[in-house]
Amino acid sequence: MSTGPARPSSAARAGLAAVDPPRSSAAEDEVVGLCQDLIRIDTSNYGDGSGPGERAAAEHVMGLLTDVGLEPELFESEPGRANVVVRLEGADPGRAALVLHGHLDVVPAHAPDWQVDPFAGELRDGRVWGRGAVDMKDMDAMILAVVRQMVREGRKPSRDVVVAFFADEEAGGAKGARWAVDHRSELFAGATEAISEVGGFSVDLGGRRAYLLQTAEKGIGWLRLVADGRAGHGSQINTDNAVTHLAAAVGRIGQHPWPLSLSPTVRTLLQGVADLVGLTFDPEDEHTIDAILAALGSASRFVGATTRNTANPSGLASGYKANVIPGHAEATVDGRFLPGQEDEFLATLARLAGPDVALEHIHRDVALEVPFSGRLVDAMVGALVAEDPGAVVLPYMLSAGTDNKSLSRLGIAGYGFAPLRLPAELDFAGMFHGVDERVPVDALRFGVRVLDRLLRSC
C-alpha cells in the first residue's frame, strides 16, 4: 500500500490535462433539486420489512434515466424492494467495467427531534435538509445529474460503467445488492472495481484541506445473545436465572478493552495526518494516536473506531412481570471487526459470553481492504485535486459497512468516493443516522464536477 498522501501520478496529470476543464453545467444546476426530490420519497428501512420500501424511489430514478434515452432495468427481490441498474458504454469497452452505485433506502427519522420535516427536502441556509441528505441520496443525486448530462451531450465514460441503485443497504443489503449479486450477477459482467458512499469528503487539518478516500471497511457481526434458565417465582432463590446470565455476559462484552490493532490503511492515514499537523506518529503509543485522531475533528468518530475491534450491546429483552423470573432472556450486540480478524473476534465474544449464553448470528459480512494505488485511485485523486488545488488525499477505513461487501463476492474491489468539499465546522460524521441531516449546496455542486471528471478519466 502507499505510505503517504496521494497526489496525481504523472500519467494521471497528463490525462487530466487532456480533458477540457468542466464548465458550470446542467448537472450542477439540477443536482440540488434531484437530491430534494429523492429525500421527499420516504424510503425508511426499519430492518424488518415494515417500511414503505424503495419502489417509489426506484420508479422515480427509472424516469430520470429513461428521460435521457437510457434503458435501465428495475427488478425486485420481493414486492416493494426495488433495484435499478443500467450500463453505460465506455469509450474503451475493452477495459474492465466500473460499478457506480448508491442505495435508495434510509434509516428511519423521528420527526419531533428534527428542526425540519425530515422528508420535506427543505433548502435552508444554503443546505439541503432531510433524511438521506448525506446517507446517501446526495450521492444518488450526483450520480443521476452527471449521468443525465453525459448522455444528453453524447459523451461516454472512459470505460463501461454499471450504474446501480440498490435497496436495503441500511439492513445489510439482503434485499438489494446481495440479492442482485446472487441472482443477477450478469448485470456486473466484466466489472472489477466499484465506487460508492462515505469517502472523498474533506476535513480540515491544521488549515489545510484533506480528502479521506475510503479504501477499507470493517466487517459486520450483529449477534443475538440467548440465555435460558429456570423460570420461577421472583421471591425464591434462583441460581439459574436467565436474566442474571445474560446481564453478566452483556457487561463483560460491553466493557471489554479491545486491543489496539492498526491495519495498513489506518497506519497510512494516521501517518499522513500526523505529517500535516506536525505530530509524531508512534503506532505503539495510544496517547499519540489519540492526539492524531483529535486533529481529525468530527471525522475521528469514523476513524477512531477503526483502530480496534468493537462490540456494543444494543438491546435487551426479557420478562413480563416483576415477580416472575423468566426462563429466557435475549440481547443484541453490534460487532465490527477489522480485516483478517473475524475468527479471533468471534472467538473472543464467545469466551466473554460464557457457557450459559449462546451466540446467534443476526447478520454477518466481510471486512474489506483494497490498495490505495492504481489507475482508479489516481483518477479519484486527480479529479479531487483538479477541483481543489493544494488539497491532499489520504486513505481511511470506514467503521461501518457498504454495499461494496456484496459486490466483493464477485471479485469487485470497492472504494468509498462520494466527493464533498465541506466547511470545516460541519459535523459531517454526526449527520450519518443523526438528527438534522443536511448537506451544503456548494458541496453537491463540487461533487458533480469531481464525479464528471472521474468518469472521463477513470
Q: What is the CATH number of the domain that holds 292?
A: 3.30.70.360
Q: According to the model, what pLDDT value does residue 340 have?
A: 96
Domain boundary among 314, 338, 365: 365
What rounded mean pLDDT belongs to the chain?
Answer: 93
Q: How many CB atoms lie within 10 A of CB 21?
A: 10
- Report how many domains make up the chain: 2
Please indicate, yes or no, whether residues 43 and 114 belong to a single structural domain of this protein.
Answer: yes
Determine, yes or no, domain membership for 209: no
Burial (CB < 10 A; 0-12, 13-18, 19+), residue 255, is exposed
Q: Is the pLDDT assigned to residue 347 strictly greater than 80?
A: yes
pLDDT band at 429 (very low <50, low <70, confident <90, very high): confident
Higher pLDDT, 113 or 427: 113
Q: According to the model, what pLDDT value does residue 15 have?
A: 39
Please give the angle made by the CA atoms of 213, 215 and 218, to the nearest 5 degrees.
120
Please indicate, yes or no, whether residues 197 and 265 belong to a single structural domain of this protein.
Answer: no
Q: Is the pLDDT assigned to residue 36 strictly greater than 90?
A: yes
Please indicate, yes or no, whether residues 24 and 90 belong to a single structural domain of this protein.
Answer: yes
What mean pLDDT comes out for the span 130-159?
A: 97
Please indicate, yes or no, whether residues 340 and 248 belong to a single structural domain of this protein.
Answer: yes
**Strand intervals (E) in 218-354:** 219-228, 232-233, 310-318, 324-325, 328-337
Determine, yes or no, domain membership for 210: no
Q: Is the pLDDT assigned to residue 39 strictly greater than 80?
A: yes
Please indicate, yes or no, whether residues 251 and 144 belong to a single structural domain of this protein.
Answer: no
Containing structural domain, residue 438: 10-204+400-457
Q: According to the model, what pLDDT value does residue 19 have?
A: 45
Please indicate, yes or no, whether residues 197 and 220 belong to a single structural domain of this protein.
Answer: no
DSSP SS3 for 22: coil
Q: According to the model, what pLDDT value does residue 3 have?
A: 45
Contact (Cβ atoms closer than 8 angstroms) between residue 11 and residue 378? yes
Q: According to the model, what pLDDT value does residue 389 have?
A: 96
Q: According to the model, what pLDDT value does residue 14 have?
A: 35
Q: According to the model, what pLDDT value does residue 20 have?
A: 47
Determine, yes or no, domain membership for 2: no
Please indicate, yes or no, whether residues 423 and 360 belong to a single structural domain of this protein.
Answer: no
Q: What is the dihedral of CA 358, 359, 362, 366, to 10 degrees?
A: -160
Please indicate, yes or no, whether residues 130 and 264 belong to a single structural domain of this protein.
Answer: no
Please indicate, yes or no, whether residues 224 and 200 belong to a single structural domain of this protein.
Answer: no
Say which amino acid occupies 62: M
What is the DSSP track for 152-191?
A: HTT---SS-EEEEEES-GGGTSTTTHHHHHHH-GGGGTTE
Please indicate, yes or no, whether residues 30 and 111 belong to a single structural domain of this protein.
Answer: yes
Task: State the number of CA atoms in the 13 A half-sphere of 236 facing the CB.
Answer: 11
pLDDT band at 236 (very low <50, low <70, confident <90, very high): very high
Q: According to the model, what pLDDT value does residue 24 have?
A: 55
pTM of the model: 0.91
What mean pLDDT comes out for the span 272-283?
A: 95
Determine, yes or no, domain membership for 278: yes
pLDDT band at 4 (very low <50, low <70, confident <90, very high): low
DSSP SS3 for 436: coil
Q: According to the model, what pLDDT value does residue 22 have?
A: 46
Please indicate, yes or no, whether residues 128 and 224 belong to a single structural domain of this protein.
Answer: no
Determine, yes or no, domain membership for 247: yes
Per-residue model confidence as pLDDT tens digits over 55-109: 999 999 999 999 999 999 999 999 999 999 999 999 998 999 999 999 999 999 9
Determine, yes or no, domain membership for 373: no
Contact (Cβ atoms closer than 8 angstroms) between residue 395 and residue 422? no
Determine, yes or no, domain membership for 95: yes
CATH number for the domain harbouring residue 416: 3.40.630.10
Q: According to the model, what pLDDT value does residue 6 have?
A: 58
Determine, yes or no, domain membership for 89: yes
Place of cell 456486473: 188
Of the candidates 357, 346, 343, 276, the residue with the CA atom closest to the CA atom of residue 311: 346
pLDDT band at 5 (very low <50, low <70, confident <90, very high): low
Please indicate, yes or no, whether residues 283 and 418 belong to a single structural domain of this protein.
Answer: no
